Amino acid sequence: MIAYICRRFLSMIPSLFLASVIVFSFIHFIPGDPAQVMLGDQATPERVQQLRESMGLDRPLYVQYAKWIGGVLRGDMGQSIFFHKPVLDVIADRAETSLLIAVFSMILIIVVGVPIGILSAVRCNSRLDQLFSGASMFFASIPTFWLGLNLMLLFAVTLKWLPTSGFPSIVESGDWSNLRYLVLPCITLAAPNSALIIRLTRSSMLDVARADYVKTAWAKGLSEGSVTMRHIFRNSLISVVSALGFTFVALLAGTVVTETVFSLPGVGRLVVESLLRRDYPTIQGVILIVAFVYMLVNLLVDLSFAILDPRIRYS
């Protein structure tokens, strides 16, 4: 198992290299002079030349890449054009909000999506199943920003139960009641993703329910709960965990829209702001980190398969 983990980590290196090349290339796909584009039309030629030199844009591409990736490996992702701070510091300042939203949304998805999916599969084709299937299809079809705006209108503006926007840092204030600012964003982000998990849990359980060993379990006279949870659910967990892994990364990307709707100071909003300000070093940093997280989650999901299904042996 340890050898497998090491091998998987090593196999991430070529993928990470390729991802870094793609992220690095973004800046060079910009039509025209990237330094001029980043600083805008109002920038003086001296300032443009200064940026070109500081970012090494006047050097050959492979030298630029080597300098950039060398910096990334040392934890230096360059300077933000807008904030005039190291990119990693800018991202770290915004990470608290995005991580809290992603983690709490994920908890909500697991707590709501998986049990409803199980119930739908157990009561397949019943009225309850039809209700859940219809609701999950509906929520999977809703644009997150529209759902967020409607939730804001109902719970924040009309009923005044929750704040409309913003999020004062818990780390800085130590006030955990600030979590109320994240209730609506988390529901907004979790609803469409829960719908997908409900559908996936249901369909993978129905697939497993047709297996011979499940028929044997029923024939042995085991209780419904035992057959459902120990034989059907456990064996359908691989698909569910795999989907949950991808959902977590989708949540990180989903914060782009949700944080914009609720004006939250997170990494997602940072991406939009940086794109509008053409702060490409910051965008490169965020995207490289997200790609790394995706590969790491992928690895963890793969490793979890060995625990969930004893038939899978890594050698």
Exactly one of 143, 161, 230, 234 binds other proteins (CB under 8 A); which one?
143
When binding is defined by CB under 8 A, the residue of 110, 128, 149, 306 that contacts other proteins is 149
- Cβ contacts of 217 within 8 Å, gap of 6 or more: 226, 227, 230, 231
Binding mask 154-193 for other proteins (x = CB under 8 A): ---x------------------------------------
Select the residue interacting with other proteins from 252, 264, 270, 301 (CB under 8 A). 252
144 binds other proteins (CB under 8 A): yes
Which of 128, 272 has the CB closer to other proteins?
272
Select from 11-19, 55-63, 88-96, 299-307 the region that touches other proteins (CB under 8 A): 11-19
The dihedral through the CA atoms of 226, 229, 235, 236 has a sign that is positive
**Residue 2, CA distances (Å) to 95, 217, 242, 310 in order:** 31, 34, 21, 16
Q: What is the residue type of 247?
A: T
> Which CB sits closer to other proteins, 116 or 291?
291
Closest CA to 145 of 277, 243, 269, 245: 269
Does 22 participate in binding other proteins (rule CB under 8 A)?
Answer: yes
What is d(CA 18, CA 291) in angstroms, rounded to the nearest whole number? 11
Could you give the dihedral angle defined by the CA atoms of residues 270, 272, 277 and 280, in that order, rounded to the nearest 10 degrees?
70
Which residues, 282 to 301, sit near other proteins by CB under 8 A?
Answer: 283, 286-287, 290-291, 294-295, 298
Which part of the chain contacts other proteins (CB under 8 A), choosing from 15-23, 52-60, 172-180, 215-223? 15-23
Tokens 């994240």 belong to: 182
Dihedral sign from CA coordinates of 154, 159, 161, 162 = positive
> Quick check: 69 binds other proteins (CB under 8 A)?
no
The secondary structure of residue 310, as a DSSP letter, is T
Which residues pair with residue 86 across a beta bridge?
A: 79
Radius of gyration of the chain (CA): 24
Residues in 23-62 at the binding interface with other proteins, rule: CB under 8 A: 26, 29-31
**Which residues here bind other proteins, judged by CB under 8 A?**
14-15, 18-19, 22, 26, 29-31, 134, 137-138, 140-146, 149-150, 152-153, 157, 206-207, 210, 249-250, 252-254, 256-257, 260-261, 271-272, 275-276, 278, 283, 286-287, 290-291, 294-295, 298
